[in-house]
Amino acid sequence: MIYFDHQSTTPVDPRVVEAMLPYFSGTYGNPSSHIHAQGVAAGEALDNARLSVASSIGAKPEEVIFTSGATEANNLAIKGFVEANADRGKHIIASAIEHYSVLAPLRSLQSRGFEVTYVGCDKYGMVDPVDVGKALKHDTAMITVQAANPEIGTIQRIQDIALFARKHDVYFHTDAAAASGIVPIDVDVLGVDSLTLSSHNMYGPKGVGALYLRTGNRLSCQIVGGMQESGYRSGTENLPGIVGMAKACDLAKAEASTRIELLKNLQIKLWDWLANNVEYLEFTGHPMYRIPGHVSFWVKFIEGESLLLMLNMKGIMCSSGSACSSNLRGHDEEDLAASHVLTAVGVPAEFCSGSLTVSMGKDNTEDEVDYMISALPSIIERLLAMSPLYADKLKGKDPYSK
């Protein structure tokens, strides 16, 4: 089986599991139990983990808040900010291609009287920083633009957006879940006020994530109780998970150049083959500013879901954009066909029946890409043969020329 769905989740690196193991049954104390040896040892492990995560993104340890994952971190960054800063205005700017864990908090704020301007992007999924600047109002409290898009792979010009945010003293959050562990992050280079990291996107365990919060910013705690995490997030800390995330951050930092080189090579190989060999194929996302190892596309006449299923039958696992979106099917009619991301980049919903996201990881090989390349032609041939739209086209009735 070949796993090409690293944007949905990654396998935990065995070195990460090894780092976690002592914290289940050995150093199992509650970090809040300051009074005895087990608690103190747990507290020290928590401090060390915080230092690792912080240093992997150029932050100070006290600027790292551990959460249960990226979704909670985005919720805290967005809802927590406006609740703690009611005087900063009622207007928010976001990109139109944010993840559901950003869009859903924004929608809840809209129902509470906030106005959200969704800034569009070009056909490559790139948000123009100038558009963000133009959207600023006198009462803009927050800008939130993702670092990278999991579905189409585009990496945003966060630094340039940050310039506008800084100039106008507007809080700037970026969801870096899709970039975690693969696109090097430095919070000072990016110039953001807060940043979401996902552990399970970088070979760390599920159930843990972190929010970077620049010193000087305040958030309102969302999960209230025992005042853990400097009062920003209550609940006994998931110490084995946090230690695992820290190890994953250490590894990502140490191996960044090796991973990027491998993934760029695999990406180029697959991209070039697709470009040269698959008719009716349209790439999505930016051809250059994209997540290493990320290739996404759709094929005219072919249903994305059928392509995914047939690839899975051949042992190749990919996705149609964000894994989370699959839970929304049935909740939201418009998600059945093209996602909000594909719509935003101008993929025609009437022509595109789903796209494919191939997100490769650090342990994938050239052989695996070769295997996919060898498997694709017969699959596409078969799907074209099954497609009524393609049959119409062969009869001279082009369904795409209404």
| Residues designated as active site | 324
Rounded to a whole number of angstroms, the minimum distance from the CB of residue 362 to a copy of itself is 13
State whether residue 107 is helix, strand or coil.
helix
User: Interface with a copy of itself includes 50 (CB under 8 A)?
Assistant: no
Residue 2's nearest CA partner among 389, 395, 366 is 366
Segment interacting with a copy of itself (CB under 8 A) among 44-52, 94-102, 338-346, 380-388: 94-102
Binder of a copy of itself out of 32, 55, 85, 265 (CB under 8 A): 32
CB nearer to a copy of itself: give 5 or 63: 5
Residue 6's nearest CA partner among 319, 398, 222, 394 is 319
CB nearer to a copy of itself: give 55 or 220: 220
User: Interface with a copy of itself includes 322 (CB under 8 A)?
Assistant: yes
Rounded to a whole number of angstroms, the minimum distance from the CB of residue 368 to a copy of itself is 14
User: Interface with a copy of itself includes 193 (CB under 8 A)?
Assistant: no
- Hunting for tokens 């989740």 — which residue is that? 9
Rounded to a whole number of angstroms, the minimum distance from the CB of residue 108 to a copy of itself is 6
Tokens standing for residue 16: 């990460």
User: Interface with a copy of itself includes 298 (CB under 8 A)?
Assistant: no
User: Interface with a copy of itself includes 228 (CB under 8 A)?
Assistant: yes
CB nearer to a copy of itself: give 33 or 265: 33
User: Interface with a copy of itself includes 36 (CB under 8 A)?
Assistant: yes
Which residues, 6+ apart, have CB-to-CB distance to 98 below 8 Å? 106, 144, 145, 146, 175
Site string for a copy of itself, 270-289 (x = CB under 8 A): --------------------
User: Interface with a copy of itself includes 353 (CB under 8 A)?
Assistant: no
Binder of a copy of itself out of 240, 285, 292, 293 (CB under 8 A): 240
Q: How far is CA 261 from CA 140, 255, 256, in A?
A: 40, 10, 9
CB nearer to a copy of itself: give 242 or 266: 242
**DSSP code of residue 11:** P
Rounded to a whole number of angstroms, the minimum distance from the CB of residue 328 to a copy of itself is 6
Which residues, 6+ apart, have CB-to-CB distance to 60 below 8 Å? 54, 215
User: Interface with a copy of itself includes 154 (CB under 8 A)?
Assistant: no
Rounded to a whole number of angstroms, the minimum distance from the CB of residue 377 to a copy of itself is 20
Question: What number of chain residues touch a copy of itself (CB under 8 A)?
Answer: 82
379-399 residues labelled b (16+ CB within 10 A) or e (exposed): bbeebbeebebbeebeeeeeb
Backbone angles phi and psi of 169, in degrees to 5: 55, 45
CA 60 to chain centroid, in Å, comes to: 23
Binder of a copy of itself out of 168, 206, 214, 253 (CB under 8 A): 206
Residue 362's nearest CA partner among 260, 244, 253 is 260
- What is the rounded CA–CA span in Å between residue 82 and residue 134? 21
State whether residue 175 is helix, strand or coil.
strand
Beta strands in 300-401 (DSSP E): 316-317, 356-359
Radius of gyration of the chain (CA): 22
How does DSSP assign 274-321, residue by residue? Answer: HHHH-TTEEE-S-SSSB-TTEEEEEETTSBHHHHHHHHHHTTEE-BSS
Residues 56-75 that bind a copy of itself (CB under 8 A): 67-72, 74-75
Binder of a copy of itself out of 116, 135, 281, 328 (CB under 8 A): 328
Rounded to a whole number of angstroms, the minimum distance from the CB of residue 22 to a copy of itself is 11
CB nearer to a copy of itself: give 29 or 293: 29
